[in-house]
Amino acid sequence: MTAPETLPPRSRLVHDALRSHGITGEIVVLPDAAATAVLAAEALGVVVGAIANSLVFQCDDEPLLVMTSGAHRVHTAALAERIGASRIRRASAEQVREATGQAIGGVAPTGHPAPLRTIVDRDLAAFPQIWAAGGTPHTVFPLTFDELVALTGGTVQQVD
């Protein structure tokens, strides 16, 4: 167990947000960066589908966080139609950092400067435990699907 005070600053914000939502999963510091779902799954010894990828998009010029299973790609045109948006496109690295305060590869579902509209991939519900980034490419934490939905205030939706 990593003591919260020894976590990187971005991960401490995530830790505090988790605790404020009653989520007790501990942030794990990985020896190597796990900036992709495949790398995270390999480091944790879990299937890639149990990784909750945090992907930031621009949805009608507003940030949109999509928490998707690591086994999926987001079909932006289909998702836009499902949520009534005119266009969804991948955010730039600068837009991701501005919206989340975190770098691509380590974006957590929480700990952002302000709440983000969030879509949660319904297929993540198939896993009793899922893993999400903890604010840096070296940090991850476990939680349940229901905890993820509650933490983000997200809308459950098909994303692929």
List, for residues 66-82, the tens digit of each pLDDT value.
Answer: 999 999 899 999 999 99
- Would you say 120 and 152 are in contact if contact means Cβ atoms under 8 Å apart? yes
Average pLDDT, the chain: 94
Q: Does domain 4-157 have CATH number 3.30.70.260?
A: no
CA-to-CA separations, 141 to 27, 51, 70, 98, 133, in angstroms, rounded: 5, 10, 15, 23, 6
- Looking at the predicted structure, is the pLDDT value of residue 2 above 90? no
The gap between the terminal CA atoms of the chain, to the nearest Å, is 35
Report d(CA 132, CA 141) in Å as an integer.
6
Per residue in 86-138, pLDDT (tens digit) is 999 999 999 999 999 999 999 999 999 999 999 999 999 999 999 999 999 99
Q: Give the list of residues 6+ apart from residue 130 with CB closer than 8 angstroms, or none.
A: 50, 51, 52, 124, 142, 143, 144, 145, 148
Amino acid at 54: S
Q: Does the reported pTM lie above 0.85? A: yes
Domain boundaries, the chain: 4-157
